[in-house]
Amino acid sequence: MLKRLSLIVGLCVAGAALAACDEKLSTLAGPTPGLEPTFSSIQRDIFESTDSAGRSACTNCHTSTGRTPAGGINLIHDVAYDQLVNAPVRGRVGAIRVIPGDPDNSYLIQKLEGRADIVGRRMPFNGPPFLTDGQILIIRRWIAIGAPRN
């Protein structure tokens, strides 16, 4: 009986810990509460959607539908991953958009954070609002774990 009670208490504690982790991630994601460090989530919640803070979908500019995509990067669903991961940056010799395992040197992060040495302006171009620190942190995490096509 004591073993069963211990098991039940242990499962409840583990469940509460997992729920707290989910709550923290959704809180961190701010205006995109479903955002996770997966490519499919970033594609859906960042590239293709306007968020609740009013930040425009990236595909408003980064599309080849009826135009040349801004910066030469097309973020439409079927081509976005190949346009980002291990892809060179147009206009910045030696820069790579997403370097798996290396968010600090991934040009995507530099553009989203608006670092001083980027070419052009911080993304999104029509910001503010820009991505929140939490949204960028989740994208950084996806890159840090190897930028899988998931």
pLDDT of 141 above 50 = yes
| Confidence at residue 24, expressed as pLDDT on a 0 to 100 scale | 66
By the 8 A CB rule, do 48 and 118 touch? Answer: no
Query: How is the chain split into domains, by residue range?
Result: 2-144
By the 8 A CB rule, do 54 and 129 touch? Answer: yes
Residue 139: count other Cβ atoms within 10 Å of its Cβ.
24
Residue type, 146: G
Write the DSSP string, 76-94. -TTTHHHHHBTPBPTTSTT
Give residue-wise pLDDT tens across range 58-113: 999 999 888 888 889 999 999 999 999 999 999 899 999 999 999 999 999 999 99
Give residue-wise pLDDT tens across range 17-48: 434 444 466 677 889 899 999 999 999 999 99
Rounded to two decimals, the pTM is 0.81
Alpha carbon of 12 to those of 20, 90, 144: distances in Å?
Answer: 12, 52, 31
